[in-house]
Structure 1
Amino acid sequence: MKRKNLIKTHLAATTVATITIVMFFSVSLVAELHGDEELIISVKTGIFRFLPLLLFSMPALAISGNKLAAASDNVLVKQKKQRMKIVMVNGIVLVTLAVFLYYRANYQSVDQVFMYAQIAELCFGLFNLILIGMNIYSGLKLSGRMGQLA
């Protein structure tokens, strides 16, 4: 794949993944703060249904990012790679929690166990958003869109 197309793929995957994660986080937080069980069940069902979008965009993001980085010795590239390893592990935890919360909300109950899992999901999600934001910032610096490297 040509570098130009690889960059477009990476940007598209980054955009889709980031927007999806932000939406998952936001609607979960709103539902929990609102406290309406029906809303919580709807949100968990919606997240479960849109999970495949994330399951396609994140690997596309990682694969295209790795190809763009190749064997770079750039410090920012190395930092991005390190952060992506953490994002990947957190992502596995988040997918597991999303499935668990969907199942719990729809087939069991929105109880204390659900709430602890929801708190964990929000914490892992916020941490991933921070790491992804840092990677986006580093990517913009690498592309020259954020000025000179410090």
Structure 2
Amino acid sequence: MAKMIHPIAGAIALLTIGFFWLSTVSSELLGSEALVVTVKTMIPWGFLILIPSLMAAGGSGLQLGRGWRNPLVAVKRKRMPIIAGNGILVLIPSALYLSFKAQAETFDAWFYIVQTIELIAGAVNIALLSLNMRDGLRLTRKRPAMDDAST
């Protein structure tokens, strides 16, 4: 079951973060203030999709990687605390703060400072999740058809 859940949950998480990032950039560059308010208000609601998908990807990844000594598995494991910490310590608080500020229509310097930090942290997570997906695809090509934990 983890073999099926892991790539689906990982793809959903990556697509969700990518959608948040692109929505933010496009609304800021091309949209009205009302669109920025809508995007910033909706992103925290997207956590209802993002957080469970990240948890499912992480949990199933731990289960799949158990007992593996492949260097790609080790690299993926090292990225996950960075991805999780970035999300918990930077991205979620930033999104909540920006949502609050946008709903109050307070687009001051702090809004844009936090927005910049959020975009950088989001780009980092997109990059790290993309690398994990790439490495996961490499692992599935190398892995025998049967679940062999000795690889």
- The count of aligned residue pairs is 141
Quote how far apart the aligned CAs of 1:36 are: 2.3
Q: Answer 1 or 2: higher relative contact order, Cα 8 Å, separation at least 6.
A: 2
What stretches of structure 1 of length at least 5 have no aligned partner?
Answer: 146-150
Q: Confirm or deny that 1:101 pairs with 2:131.
A: no
> 4+ residue stretches of structure 1 with deviation over 6 A?
none
Q: Confirm or deny that 1:132 pairs with 2:106.
A: no
Q: Confirm or deny that 1:122 pairs with 2:119.
A: yes
Q: Which residue of 2 aligns with 1:78?
A: 74
What stretches of structure 2 of length at least 5 have no aligned partner?
Answer: 143-151
Quote how far apart the aligned CAs of 1:35 are: 5.5
Q: Which residue of 1 aligns with 2:139?
A: 142
Quote how far apart the aligned CAs of 1:130 are: 0.5
Alignment of 1:1-150 (within 5 A): 5-34=1-30, 36-92=32-88, 93-107=90-104, 109-144=106-141
Secondary structure, in 3 states, of the residue corresponding to 1:139? helix
What per-residue deviation string (whole Å, max 9, x for no partner) do you get for residues 23-47 of structure 1?
A: 0000001111126211110101111
TM-score of the pair, normalised by structure 2: 0.89
The percent of aligned pairs where both chains have the same amino acid is: 34
What per-residue deviation string (whole Å, max 9, x for no partner) do you get for residues 48-102 of structure 1?
A: 2212111111111100000000132110000000011110111111011111110
Quote how far apart the aligned CAs of 1:135 are: 0.5
Please give the root-mean-square deviation of Cα atoms over the aligned residues, in Å: 1.2
Letter in 2 for 1:130: A
